[in-house]
Amino acid sequence: MPKFPEHIAIEKVHPEAVLDWHENFGDRTLIVESKQVVEVAKILRDQFGYKMLVDLTAVDYLPRRPRFEVVYHYLNLQTNTRIRIKTQLEETSAHLPTLSDIYPIADWYEREVWDLFGIKFDGHPNLKRIMLYEGFEGHPLRKDYPKTKRQPLLGPQN
Amino acid sequence: MSTVSTSEITAALPPDEPEFQHQEMMLNIGPSHPAMHGIIHIKAKLEGELVIESEVDIGYLHRAFEKSCEEATWNQAIIYTDRLNYVSAAINNIGYCMAVEKLLGVTLPPRGQYIRTLMSEISRIGDHLTCVGASAMELGGFTPFLYMIKGREYCWELIENYCGGRVTTMASRVGGMPHDLPEGFLDQCLWVVKEIREILRECHVLLTKNRIFVERMKGVGAMSGERAIEWGWTGPCLRSCGVGYDVRKDFPYLVYNELDWEVPVGTNGDNLDRYLVRMEEMEQSCRIIEQCVAKMPGGPINCDNKRVMLPAKKDTYENIEGLMNHFKLIMYGHGIRVPQGEVYFPVEGANGELGFYIVSHPDEHSKDGRNDRAWRVRCRPPCMNPVAGLPEIINNYMIADIVPTFGSVNMIGGELDR
Amino acid sequence: MSNHANGHHLDMTRSLSGSVVTTRFDKLLGWARKYSLFQYPFVTACCGMEYMATAASHYDLDRFGAALPRFSPRQADVLWVVGTISHKIAPVLKTIYDQMAEPKWVVSFGACASCGGPYDNYATVQGIDTIIPVDIYIAGCPPRPEAVLDGLLKLQELIQNQKHEWR
Ligand code: SF4
């Protein structure tokens, strides 16, 4: 499969950054080195006009290794093209550089990923829980968190 | 008018008057507050009546949509999508089903697609009516609220006629639609469109020409197009800033590109523009409904893939193949088998781009690499972006301006917190 | 003498019949209270849409003397808990209930408030009766407006027949 133009441009600057790419189901996807997500985001925004970070989320692939995948969806409003950037993380080193300096919305998306998956974002200005409350232990969207394990603030325990 | 700073007021005082005491004050608005429909918490730092800093706190309605979907089969998860944006549930159902269909590689025959378009637009009208009506009520216009809820009631009666539910509709299945249109439905659609147009006309008179309303809305909560894109705004909020992005036009799905309609775009990105964009979108939805009614093709409504869609009730009851087919799709451990992979599929929800990112990945229930449930369902909530950007449009305005600004971003708790 | 007294008594009831109703004070108070319910809608989720529909002109909650939402718990008699209660919002609900003045009633509106509804998971309270006492449960997800009206009538019946603290 031919490389996407975005892929070639990234390789020019960071030859090792792109690990893999595919276009399954028509969604163009690049899998990049976790240290390079910020650089990649800047290239996509400045050279290709991907001005909107549509979505940022994570997936837990327990027991596969590397365990986590963080997924970014970008959108170019001029040409109506989309691209998905993925990066893989080991459980032991589950942290990424933050995108919140480039996209203000990444602030909340990253807080959500931290809250539900426990992936840290280095340099994030305000990394605290967003969906759950202080005092909640664990990260519920991880596959090893049981769905019905409740940690109530009031009332009976479970 | 709303951006007078206290320093200007102080400067305007005669010099011998004692100076104003400047004192900052923290004000908590919410989580249970009439203006915060739904539950959300705004911490505002005030100087006099001016908001100088604010922080939005969400998550009070987090009810584990994504975790629940991981434990339900593909069709069972539809009930959770109902409860995302509960004002326009049908759009959520359809968006989710289309994402799964993208993984499966099935498409609906034309009649099914037209029915989906029709249901989406009816829900969209209901959603916009609720949003505009509620924000009018918060500014003291109780009459438009009652009129608009009346209009929404008509939309919901239509939806109820189709699928039996008013709010939580389940109006779609993976690979098809639950029912064909009931008798007389299309005529009823036309009647509802006529009524909605009348309501819109009345509300234009009551609101658009109402000086109090316009002055509370105009120039308040303004956002620039550039900044809105950085915040990831979509839907009416983005279009009011002058960026004409609409998933229905730019990434056409269903039959939207066969129909003739327009995308309304604002200029200033303030509350008034958001209101006007919504009003005009309802008119466009009415046009879409009329065209769907006129063009409604005949034929089947479901895809003919027997591994995806339940057989007709007649087959289930009358022959063994149909019965087995039914059981194969219903029984625990069987069901629809979706190939491994991941997709992102966006539709235009009432608040903007509603995207589903679905991962199908083998787990203990899988057979031959095909899965009967999702590994991960992520919903991209369209109203999260405007709510995240809320501090930018309430800071430096009066505290009373929070009410119309917050009303016009149309926060929906189920979708925001999931 | 006694005859005379009896005759007088009979006369009085005869002359006042039609303009006097005898009852017990509790009943009278219940009758008065049930038709002036000031409600605090604690609206969190989807059920709120049906609450809104019930309150608006199509179904018109006003007919039953329960029209006026009061967004201050101090001024409210009935707490409508409308929608899903998550563990994060539960302390807020409890505070609001505690702030309400006696007499007070609680209506649990919809499946979520009554038992957690479709959400049996880490985030959701499995029924608000684990936190505050509930008088009326309305079933449905969401309940249709007719069911809400029925629930309201049941609440009024309950208020009519209960013992009232008034001293
Ligand atoms: S009972 Fe159903 S409609 Fe009501 S809040 Fe719960 S999920 Fe929503």
Average pLDDT, chain A: 86
Rounded to whole angstroms, how far apart are CA atoms A84 and A28?
6
Query: CB of C143 closer than 6 A to ligand 1?
Result: no
pLDDT value for B198: 92
Q: Report the percentage of chain C scoring pLDDT > 90.
A: 7
Per-residue confidence (pLDDT) for residue C2, from 0 to 100? 46
Lowest-confidence region among B218-222, B368-372, C31-35: B368-372
Cis peptide before C142 (omega within 30 of 0): yes
Which comes out higher in pLDDT, residue B366 or B263? B263
Domain residue extents for chain A: 5-122
**CB within 8 Å: B361 and A61:** yes
Residue C49 CB less than 6 A away from ligand 1: no
Q: Which residues of A touch B389 (CB under 8 A)?
A: 104-105
The answer to whether the Cβ–Cβ distance between B357 and A57 falls below 8 Å is yes
Point out the least confidently predicted range of B86-90, B230-234, B257-261, B311-315: B311-315
Mutate to test the interface with A, among B53, B56, B62 (most CBs of A within 10 A): B62
Mean pLDDT of B325-336: 85
Greater model confidence, B386 or A18: B386
A6, A48 Cβ separation under 8 angstroms: yes
Please answer whether residues B210 and B112 qualify as being in contact, where contact means their C-beta atoms are separated by less than 8 angstroms.
Answer: no
User: What is the C-alpha to C-alpha distance for residues B206 and B146, in angstroms, rounded to an integer?
Assistant: 12
Q: Measured between CA atoms, how close is C121 to chain B, in angstroms?
A: 7
Closest-CA residue, ligand 1 atom 6, reads C112
Listing DSSP states for B333-370 in one string gives T-S--EESEEEEEEEEETTEEEEEEEEE---TT-BTTE
Mean pLDDT of B69-97: 89
pLDDT at C137: 92
Residue range B277-288: mean pLDDT, rounded: 91
The per-residue pLDDT for B395 is 86
**Does the bond joining A66 to the residue before it have cis omega, within 30 degrees of 0?**
yes
**B101, B241, B91, B240: which is closest to B155 by C-alpha?**
B91
Shortest alpha-carbon distance between residue B209 and chain A (Å): 34
Residue B196 confidence class, pLDDT cut points 50, 70, 90:
very high
CATH dotted code for A5-122: 3.30.460.80
Please compute the mean of the pLDDT values over residues B326-345 and round it to a whole number: 87
Cβ contact B149–C48 (<8 Å):
no
Mean pLDDT of chain B: 86
For residue B385, give every residue at least 6 positions away whose Cβ sits within 8 Å of its Cβ, in sequence order, or none. A105, B231, B232, B233, B234, B237, B352
* pLDDT grade for C161, boundaries at 50, 70 and 90: confident
pLDDT digits (tens, 9 = 90+) for C78-94: 898 998 998 888 888 88
Q: How far apart are CA C132 and CA C78, in angstroms?
A: 13
Contact criterion met (CB below 8 Å) for C121 and B64: yes
Q: How much is the pLDDT for C68?
A: 75
Q: Given a cut of 60, is residue B2 above it in pLDDT? A: no
Alpha carbons B65 and B80: distance in angstroms, whole number: 6
Which ligand 1 atom sits closest to the C-alpha of C45?
Answer: 5
pLDDT greater than 50 at residue B290: yes
Instruction: Determine the average pLDDT of the residues in C11-34.
Output: 77
Q: How many CB pairs under 8 A join B and C?
A: 94
Tokens of B282: 């309802």
Amino acid found at C35 = Y
| Dist. CA C4–CA B124, nearest whole Å | 79
Amino acid at C146: E
The residues near B128 (Cβ < 8 Å, ≥ 6 apart) are B236, B278, B279, B281, B282, B285, B350
CB-nearest partner of A24 from B341, B346, B389 = B341
> Looking at the partner chain, which of C58, C69, C124 has a beta carbon nearest the beta carbon of B63?
C124
Chains that touch C (3 or more CB pairs under 8 A): A, B
Residues in Cβ contact with A92 at an 8 Å cutoff, skipping those fewer than 6 apart: none
% of chain B with per-residue pLDDT over 90: 17
Test A55 with B378 for CB contact under 8 angstroms.
yes
Of the candidates B234, B279, B271, B266, the one whose C-alpha atom is nearest the C-alpha of residue B125 is B279
Please report which confidence band the pLDDT of residue C11 belongs to, taking 50, 70 and 90 as the band edges: low
How many CB atoms neighbour CB C84 within 10 A? 31
Decide: C85 in ligand 1 pocket, CB within 6 A: no
Ligand 1 touching residue B143 (CB < 6 A):
no
pLDDT for B4 beyond 80: no
pLDDT above 70 covers a percentage of chain B that reads: 94
How does pLDDT run across B113-165, given as a tens digit for each residue?
999 999 999 999 999 999 899 888 888 888 888 999 999 999 999 999 998 88
Residue C35 has pLDDT above 80, yes or no: yes
pLDDT tens digits, A90-141: 888 888 898 888 888 988 999 999 988 889 888 888 888 888 888 888 888 8
d(CA B313, CA A16): 57
Q: Is B83 in the pocket of ligand 1 (CB under 6 A)?
A: yes
Q: A123-137, B269-283, C5-19, C52-66: lowest mean pLDDT where?
A: C5-19
For chain B, which domains are there? 65-417 (1.10.645.10)
Closest CA to B60 of C88, C142, A5: C88
Decide: C87 and C118 in contact? Cβ < 8 Å.
no
Confidence of residue C1 (pLDDT cuts 50, 70, 90): very low
Q: Is the CB of C136 under 6 A from ligand 1?
A: no
Three-state SS for B9? Answer: helix
Which residues lie closer than 8 Å to A84 by C-beta, 6 or more apart? A27, A28, A29, A30, A71, A72, A73, A74, B344
pLDDT tier at C29 (50, 70, 90 boundaries)? confident
